[in-house]
Amino acid sequence: MPRKAKGKRPTFFNDPQIDTVMGIVMALAGEVSVLRERLDSVERLAAAKGLFTQHDIEAYRPDDAVMAERERWRAEYLERVLRVVHQELEETDKGETTESYQAAVRAVSS
Amino acid sequence: MNTQLQHDLLPTATHDELARQNFVHTLKVHLATKVSPGNKTIYEHRAAPRFAREHQRPPQDRHEVRSVMQDEPYYQMWSTLLRTSQEMMWDSVNVSVERQLPQLRERAATNGKTLGSLTLNPDLAIPAYHTAVDIHCQPGGYHTELGQDDVAAGATYDRAVYIYAMSRLGSLNDEMGQSVVLHLKEQHADFRPARILDMGCTVGHSTLPYVDAYPEAEVFAVDVGAPVLRYAHARAEALGKRVHFSQQNAERTNFEAGSFDLIVSHILLHETSSQAIRNIMKECHRLLRPGGMMLHQEVPQYEGMPPYEAFILDWDTYNNNEPFWGTVHSMDLQKLAEESGFAARGVIQTMIPSALERAQARTEKFQGGDFGGGGAWFVFGATK
């Protein structure tokens, strides 16, 4: 199946440093893959030792309470991961600017 | 994520596929409820004052709002996250559908075809407004065929639209059709259509509510995409609903003049073109019997919206492969209906409430990346 939707992908940043950040993001994605593989090893070892199998995981159906708990966890997780996005808004709300920070630097330096 | 009804045709997901889809769902909810509203704060505190300083007046339309917002880092970050969530959504479903494609084809082919029918036309030209870019970033669009008897686009759409709307279209993705039905039952209680046509039906998710609402009626549905129609037919059969699907362009169908009492569409108009929408309206006029009605469900028109609200709803035009979105939502629909033969007094333009009383994470907003969050829809139509 095609993976790329036909049509030029829009870009939003002019700053080339975003490319650098994306490099870091992709490195982290790689680390997630490493974690996943480690978990896979745990599952295989568990099956080999008779604890539970991959089939048990596939057959597991979380009940409503578990699904709600997972939803809450994912929501909190995204709050943490995207904290920096909210920070920008909070700064704006509080009127924190580069100028006000420089004023603080001046205030303690004079 | 609430559970989508696992009918016979809906692709299943492995543990990890479901986890990936769940992640996209939660990411989309987060963006719509926690990040997107901040764009307005940024606009009011930073972008609008900046525009006013440069022009000695506030921004007057969505284009001027966009011209200042696209330089705002917060808006840039939200946009890149939203675009990425859209791509992750399709990918999370694509991988799953591809894995089980042979089984899905088999289920679609062997499903008992005793109720409705399916008529395909391999010679039908796919219109340029579907081939120029892949609408809403679905790789391959509605029409791309991956071999014989392909249903991939339909299977992908049925699952992805559930995630796209953050489950707010209900367990059968039928909230849009249900909402129009509710409007008909409440506002036109005596209207008893005998023949109903759904234009641009995709997988028939919006078509089926009419089968239940008007059990005596014959229900027809057309679309240009063969893979979505094969899936739609098998899906309707699996759910025990009689619908006659055919591969036709709504701009010009082979139905007889005056042969329908009710013509509906659901989020079809914004996926056409300036020429096509004119053709579709004229075709609706041709197909309706005197006294018949057309109702086209959409997101609200921009007219009367403050420039910022129009701007944030207009995001899809530029960033989600919805090239006709902005144009259609700023068209003069009264004029369009009249030019298509409908009498001025018969034209309908109204907001209708959602048929789903409660939906998870509804924002009560009309904004990019928050489809179905408004809890209401716009309906454009006319009686003949």
Domains, chain B, in order of start with CATH, read: 1-384 (3.40.50.150)
Q: Please tell me the predicted confidence (pLDDT) of residue A20.
A: 67
Q: Tell me, yes or no, whether A21 lies in a domain.
A: yes
Do A66 and A104 share a structural domain?
Answer: yes
Q: Does A76 share its domain with A108?
A: yes
In this structure, the number of other CB atoms found within 10 A of the CB of residue B231 comes to 30
Q: Do A92 and B14 touch (CB under 8 A)?
A: no
Which residue of B69, B80, B97 to mutate against A (max A Cβ within 10 Å)? B80
Q: Are residues A66 and A54 in the same domain?
A: no
How high is the pLDDT of residue A31? 75
For residue A107, what are the contacts with CB-CB under 8 A and spacing of at least 6? Answer: none
The structure tokens 């909210």 sit at A86
What was the pLDDT predicted at B113? 63
| Tokens at B107, concatenated | 């289920």
Q: Is residue A1 part of a domain?
A: no
Q: Are residues A55 and A70 in the same domain?
A: no
Residue A84 within a domain: yes
Q: What are the backbone angles phi and psi of residue B89, rounded to the nearest 5°?
A: -60, -55
Q: Does residue A67 sit in the same domain as residue A97?
A: yes
CA dihedral B345, B350, B353, B359 (to 10 degrees): 140
| A41 and A79, same domain (yes or no) | no
Do A55 and A82 lie in one domain? The reply is no
Please give the structure tokens belonging to residue B158.
């049925």
pLDDT tens, position by position, for chain B (384 residues)? 568 999 999 999 988 888 888 888 988 998 999 999 999 999 999 999 999 999 999 999 999 999 999 999 999 989 988 988 898 899 889 999 999 999 999 999 865 568 999 999 999 999 999 999 999 999 999 999 999 999 999 999 999 999 999 999 999 999 999 999 999 999 999 999 999 999 999 999 999 999 999 999 999 999 999 999 999 999 999 999 999 999 999 999 999 999 999 999 999 999 999 999 999 999 999 999 999 999 999 999 999 999 999 999 999 999 999 999 999 999 999 999 999 999 999 999 999 999 987 766 788 899 999 999 999 999 999 999
Same domain, A85 and A108: yes
CB B287 within 8 A of CB B257: yes
pLDDT for B348 equals 97
Residue A4 lies in a domain: no
Q: How many structural domains is chain A composed of?
A: 2
Per the domain annotation, does A12 fall within a domain?
no
Residues of B in contact with A7 (CB under 8 A): 132-134, 137, 321
Q: Please name every residue paired with B213 in a beta bridge, in sequence order, or none if there are none.
A: none
Nearest CA to CA, how far is B97 from chain A (Å)? 9
**Amino acid code (one letter) for B65:** V
* B369: amino acid identity, one letter: G
- Residue B159 corresponds to which amino acid? R
Q: What angle separates helix B73-99 from helix B15-30, to the nearest 10 degrees?
A: 160
Determine the 3-state secondary structure of B14 from DSSP.
coil
Clarify whether residues A51 and A89 are in a common domain.
no
Q: Are residues A50 and A78 in the same domain?
A: no
Pair A106, A72 in one domain: yes
Residue with tokens 């917060």: B74
Q: What's the domain range around A34?
A: 17-60
Whether B41 sits inside 8 A of A92 (CB atoms) is yes
What is the model's pLDDT at position B282? Answer: 98
Name the minimum distance, in Å, from the CA of B30 to any CA of chain A.
Answer: 7
Contacts of B193 (CB under 8 A, 6+ apart): B214, B217, B260, B261, B262, B292, B293
| A67, A110: one domain | yes
Give me the amino acid identity at B194. Answer: A
Inside any domain, residue A10? no
Does A82 reach chain B within 8 Å, measured CB to CB?
yes
The answer to whether B12 and B99 have CB atoms below 8 angstroms apart is no
Q: Are B284 and B255 in contact (CB under 8 A)?
A: no
**What is the structure's pLDDT at A109?**
85
Residues of chain A with pLDDT under 50: none
Chain segment A9-33, per-residue pLDDT in tens? 677 778 757 856 765 675 576 678 7
d(CA B267, CA B203): 13
